[in-house]
Amino acid sequence: MFPLGLFLLLPGRLAGWRAYLAACIGVAIFPALLALTNTLMFGAWYATGYPPDEYRDNWRTFWPVGAAGLLIAPNSGLFIQSPFTLLALVGGWVAWRSTAPLPERALLRTYTLTFFAYWAVFSLWHDWQGA
């Protein structure tokens, strides 16, 4: 939902303050429900049920190892488990190289940036291989 929200907030996508308000409410519903669920189950909106002391220092994987592992590891790599996602690389390349007007490529660019940010962060997690 986050990339879609960023896309909708681009100038010219929505007309009027009511449309912006509706888009913000629509995008905020899921994070609000997640925060409510975490508060009810674990006592705080930011709590996840994992003990903080146990997982605080587990962002220690050498980045190239984790990054490659998330994509091509034999047991859990994204491209091994789901090879058709290689087409997403082609789509991301086309979205960034295209000279089409911004509205046609903005959403794909936003999704591409979000994927790479998520991939870069979780490449550091100690258990990237999912074992």
> Residues near 47 by Cβ (< 8 Å), separated by ≥ 6?
38
CA distance 123 to 64: 8
Confidence at residue 45, expressed as pLDDT on a 0 to 100 scale: 93
- Asked if 79 and 86 count as a contact pair (C-beta separation under 8 A), the reply is yes
Distance CA 131, CA 128 (A): 8
Express each pLDDT in 11-66 by its tens digit.
677 778 888 888 788 888 888 999 999 999 999 998 888 887 777 788 888 899 98
Side chain identity at 16, as an amino acid letter? Answer: G
pLDDT of res. 89: 85
Please state the domain extents for the chain. Answer: 1-49, 52-131
